[in-house]
Structure 1
């Protein structure tokens, strides 16, 4: 079912605008009857350059070795606060910021509208506005095409109107040209943008010695049936088609600018001219076809069974949910589809990965620099990619990891005397890999690259990896493993662990004040265990089990302690029992093994994880709610899933503070402020409610809340590559169909998606199970008769 966000009122600011994107060019469409304001973003618009990370000088290996030795000694002595002071030597200020690009405002001279609506169609990736006034009907249609690489905006009117176009940039404009048929601007990006949590730094600096910042351009051209009145006004128009392209001098991740602003201007103008030569309908058809090729792979229909689904008015439906405290199946399905739409729009092959705000940002000093936060948020952006049959969306993340592996090799050697490569909790388009300045609870965490490697491993575990991808992945995975092997230290009992170690962003109480440094936190141990298992699995797949790195990995893995349970029955977070300064902290990193890790079915560990979640509490930021949804689903706790869904579907307002998630008026997830991870992670939580495959079996409807009694999902993928359709009624399974499909993709997934997934599978539902044989290219159907599962054709 194609869904949409439809409003009967004009937009009220950026967080009430609606997003479009093709993985490179993004726009937030703020629309009223007389004005459409396009807030433009370009995925390569970053402050700084490759010289930004060490513009104040790189930490020397000698200084780093002394600081690390001192910090390790202080931790062993039980003086973590002192250890944090020692480690400040390793810090390199901050990563750079993802920036707004330009603004295009189109104003129509028209009578006041008597009827108005604006709609974002998720299935077509188009934005439309209909405004009716006395004697005139206006319609605005906007989309951003991946095949043509341009934004297209059409205005149609039943009577001749006057249009004014205004193109501006918040950046430093260096050139402008205009003609009756178009306009173009060129501008410089700043040399440095400091995050808001660095109040002693200038917020924005245009010029710095040793920094070669990017330049950018916007080119817009138009055709119409009216007459030009100056360069930016057209009279007597009944139809105008505008085409816009953006470009920067960005040459690739961690790469110095390799082109000039003039080069960028020519590239953008070439795309605009080519698109203007095509009929609008052809541009639209190419755009919709490319979008649907991704979007239509999966569908989800949810209802209460009493009435057919409708595209909900978000204002009305969110208000109703907030008033009655219930769960609206239509809104759950809408947010699921919105998450898929946003992932497709913000992460495409050839572009950069989705940032903390996806592809969209309107602030010159955005929250947390709108960069890549590796201790949960960047990975969460991609949790759903494989289950949603969107492996192409993973490709920009692999590109980023390869850039980090190259840049992080020097950091690993210089700061830690380790082989391989390392990344910490923040990075940017320049592959920043050092610890940032600030509190050790987020800064001193050299496991960011490892977590990204494990997220990418889902591409292999879901059966979508071809030989080319595996070869690329082997290099970054073994590089991360080489660092991990050298980073490990032996404890008194002979186990291997990490020191210093943190549980990201959480702190514990000590007599000297809050601290965060320990030895071998639960998260570190779990990440290392999964990384070493991944390297072994890869080596077996690639016939490389005899390589020395594999022998090292196997020897070390057996000496890494697994999860531990505290005397009070929870998962131990710190490697020892400590008192958190914030028992309801938003991060639940110690529960990583349950999700997004490989999972556990050990009853004692599941019970301890559940108690840990109880202690943390339900309410939190938007992304934390989604993580807890995934965890409760893995624990097969549908009632607790329902509790969290109620918190997700709360109205949030711009300017709200505190860790209470919800949805803004345009359905963007609130941290607050806005972060895209809550939106992109939500489909992953729904997939876990409906299907689980992490433990070697396929579990049907393991965490379905009673509030979602009727539904059908099609096209979901489970490990190791099966496609599954599942339907249920009155909260009970009707059928599940499994297929080992082959799809010609031509991108990262190559032409063998799900190849080799045929075989026999254990399918589980309500404590019963059946072995199902899935043949290549064929379907196997499982049904439930109220007592046992049955497979078509099985006795």
Structure 2
């Protein structure tokens, strides 16, 4: 393994030196920067160590740092008996559907609904009040993606004040350094508070905050945060809940936090984690290193991940004259060319994933881990009809495989609760399933509480789609032990449920369909004018099942097991109702050729087979690819942020570089923070701090955009690799280093005048790979650990 990595690194270095003439010779800094403090959440700068998160507002007079802990959720483990005999309604719903009585079917779906997810909660807020008098000038605020460091600088009374912030994964803390250009110039009050129930006490250079999330104290996750101040000189004293700093030259603030969350199946009080002991250990650890040592440990840990991939586009220049928000506004409103902003956005997605996805069993949620509100939009939960899956689209291809591990734990939890869900809500005793939403407790039941629309509440396919994230991890790494011990058993459990859930099509008994089903969050209009959600034989359902069965068969073959089961899956696969093309030339979403209630709807679940799956392609299924193209044309280009991120990838798969780039630019539409109520800049797009705007903030669009850049530059199904398949005309020259491809390939590319000039491909495994580039086709045969170069 060491030899292979060394070989690849050497090849990549040579590759970059050879191609330097086409792009900037000096690596550009990956920085977001601003000339004023943040007023709104969407202007703040996010830091995270995968568990603790911070949003830096950077005020000169009052510096607020919003805090989050990704394990801080309301609720307790799910009730395994929820649903009771709700499954008895399934046969009645099917009966109504097959009589084409969709109104009755929609109404009966309410009997097959359970509780809604729990809420993700904010941890607290650090406030650092500057007690010095006088106006501030020369303000500067920065987020350095290369080092995962935030910095704030300003002058007051001729003295320059500097604050530096980072969130350390190896040392489990958030650090803030206060310094000044003049000795004993720091005079500040430091406090710690929270929106959730809490108690605070300050003493001897430390503030301790304890409390619990909203809800009954006896049935809630508890937490303990400790803030510690180290000063070089001057005075630090406590007054109730505030620490006062007087005449200090330099001060270091450390924040540690632990919660009683102990896994999806452990009561947070009765079986809670020993959070008081753990946070005490975290605090004691702070004496082991200096601030500079902690900082270097943090940067080294972070860069092991971030530095794996670099993107450099011709014409990219770091703009030191206009802050990032002004660049984004000009790019959006004035249609400026800004390749630097385009490559910065790509790397920002990688940065956000590193910062929010390093906690076992608790992946990045709808807001990553940055949620300031007591009740976050959509509860801050995991929506698994697209959004959580989209969070992890860039993980493998952008060379951040380890960050998928939190999804493993969540899916393992869903496989446990999902068995009860399958029995009580669907009457199926084999396998497991999950619905539209989940949370830290691995809730798997259909949501809606019996009162909400089946449009989003009644859906059984969430687990089957999410488990494909685990398959992707195997497919990119070819880690057989991971497949054997983690991915395959969970895939098989999901497939078991679906084998029992599929039924013969009443119009064509030789084909298998699902009933009831919905197409996530979308409605149809029947030929009789009824607007509904529930139907049968949905394209999205069948695409998910087709992908799961196909990959489960591949997994079994790779492991050399379950030959009879492979045949059972293949027999069902052969009977799945195929794709159909509608009267408008579009790919049909519904069983019948009905109209969409909203032809421009943000969801495009019936296009799953195009992306992220590999069922529809320009080369192998041209008629279906044409229908997918027509579907996207009908939908148009305006949508929410996360949907726009998805559409970049869909157009890239269709090899439409023009549309993929156009939609990428659309994703970088400037959106004003919510508090400003700017109706001109209120759409799907990007906030001033480059957070994705649904609106409001929803992080999956960031990740969809990062994946979309990869998809424009390289596509691979493990057997065929297409280089620059959707290269925008605007990116005439450039290079990308360190991508990963299915089959466990490392890929670096350089191009000039729109043509590939060099590709370096490294394979861990023996095998053949077909390469498509510049209108050519070449078959490469690899030995394990071998690197090959194409020019």
Aligned 1:534-549 pairs, distance under 5 A:
534-546=551-563, 548-549=564-565
1:96 aligns with 2:118: yes
Q: 1:73 to 1:145 in 2, by over 3 A?
A: same
Quote the residue 1:636 is aligned against.
655
Local SS of the residue matching 1:139: strand
Q: 502, 525, 531: which one pairs with 1:509?
A: 525
Q: Residue by residue, what CA displacement relative to the aligned partner does 1:719-774 show, whole Å, maximum 9, x if unpaired? A: 1111111011222221111112xxxxxxxxxxxxxx32x43321112432112233
Quote the residue 2:601 is aligned against.
585
Q: 1:308 to 1:168 in 2, by over 3 A?
A: closer
1:684 is displaced (CA, Å) by 0.6
Q: 1:38 to 1:309 in 2, by over 3 A?
A: closer
Aligned 1:117-132 pairs, distance under 5 A:
117-132=140-155
Aligned 1:130-141 pairs, distance under 5 A:
130-141=153-164
1:340 aligns with 2:350: yes
Quote the residue 2:778 is aligned against.
770
| Structure 2 unmatched runs, 5+ | 1-26
1:67 is displaced (CA, Å) by 1.2
Q: Residue by residue, what CA displacement relative to the aligned partner does 1:604-659 show, whole Å, maximum 9, x if unpaired? A: 11111000000111110001111110000000001111221221111101236899
Local SS of the residue matching 2:760: strand
| Structure 1 unmatched runs, 5+ | 192-205, 741-754, 784-795
1:180 aligns with 2:204: yes
Q: Residue by residue, what CA displacement relative to the aligned partner does 1:160-184 show, whole Å, maximum 9, x if unpaired? A: 22111010011112x4332131010
Deviates more, 1:366-375 or 1:413-422: 413-422
Quote the RMSD (CA, aligned, Å): 2.0
What is the TM-score of this pair, normalised by structure 1?
A: 0.90
1:244 aligns with 2:255: yes
Q: 1:36 to 1:475 in 2, by over 3 A?
A: same
* Superposed structure 1 runs of 4+ greater than 4 Å apart: 258-262, 307-312, 656-659
1:261 is displaced (CA, Å) by 8.6
Q: 411, 420, 427: which one pairs with 1:410?
A: 420
Separation in 2, partners of 1:513, 1:697? 45
Contact 1:254 1:407 in 2 (8 A): no
1:610 aligns with 2:629: yes
Q: 1:308 to 1:66 in 2, by over 3 A?
A: closer
Q: 457, 473, 480: which one pairs with 2:494?
A: 480
Aligned 1:294-313 pairs, distance under 5 A:
294-304=305-315, 313=323
1:351 is displaced (CA, Å) by 5.7
Contact 2:361 2:407 in 1 (8 A): no
Contact 2:172 2:282 in 1 (8 A): yes
Deviates more, 1:126-135 or 1:309-318: 309-318
Deviates more, 1:660-669 or 1:509-518: 509-518
Local SS of the residue matching 1:704: coil
Q: 1:134 to 1:261 in 2, by over 3 A?
A: farther
Q: 1:393 to 1:761 in 2, by over 3 A?
A: same
Q: 1:774 to 1:269 in 2, by over 3 A?
A: same
1:683 is displaced (CA, Å) by 1.1
Deviates more, 1:137-146 or 1:325-334: 325-334
Quote the residue 1:743 is aligned against.
none
Deviates more, 1:628-637 or 1:660-669: 660-669
Q: 727, 739, 744: which one pairs with 1:716?
A: 739
1:463 aligns with 2:463: no
1:776 is displaced (CA, Å) by 3.1
Q: 1:259 to 1:245 in 2, by over 3 A?
A: farther
Quote the residue 2:756 is aligned against.
733
Quote the residue 2:360 is aligned against.
350
Q: Residue by residue, what CA displacement relative to the aligned partner does 1:235-290 show, whole Å, maximum 9, x if unpaired? A: 11110011111111100123222678994223112212211441111000100000
1:310 is displaced (CA, Å) by 7.0
1:218 aligns with 2:229: no
Quote the residue 2:17 is aligned against.
none
Contact 2:672 2:682 in 1 (8 A): no
Local SS of the residue matching 1:151: strand
Q: 1:19 to 1:311 in 2, by over 3 A?
A: farther
Quote the residue 1:30 is aligned against.
57
Contact 1:50 1:255 in 2 (8 A): yes
Quote the residue 2:588 is aligned against.
572
Quote the residue 1:648 is aligned against.
667
Q: 1:93 to 1:258 in 2, by over 3 A?
A: closer
Q: Residue by residue, what CA displacement relative to the aligned partner does 1:539-593 show, whole Å, maximum 9, x if unpaired? A: 11111133x4333212211100222112321111112211111010000111100
Q: 1:606 to 1:321 in 2, by over 3 A?
A: same
Aligned 1:159-558 pairs, distance under 5 A:
159=182, 160=184, 161-173=186-198, 175-191=199-215, 206=216, 212-224=219-231, 225-231=233-239, 232-257=243-268, 263-304=274-315, 313-350=323-360, 352-418=362-428, 419-437=430-448, 438-491=452-505, 492-493=507-508, 494-510=510-526, 511=528, 513-546=530-563, 548-558=564-574
Count, aligned residues:
743
1:157 is displaced (CA, Å) by 1.3
Separation in 2, partners of 1:766, 1:185? 61
Local SS of the residue matching 1:462: helix
Q: 1:404 to 1:582 in 2, by over 3 A?
A: same
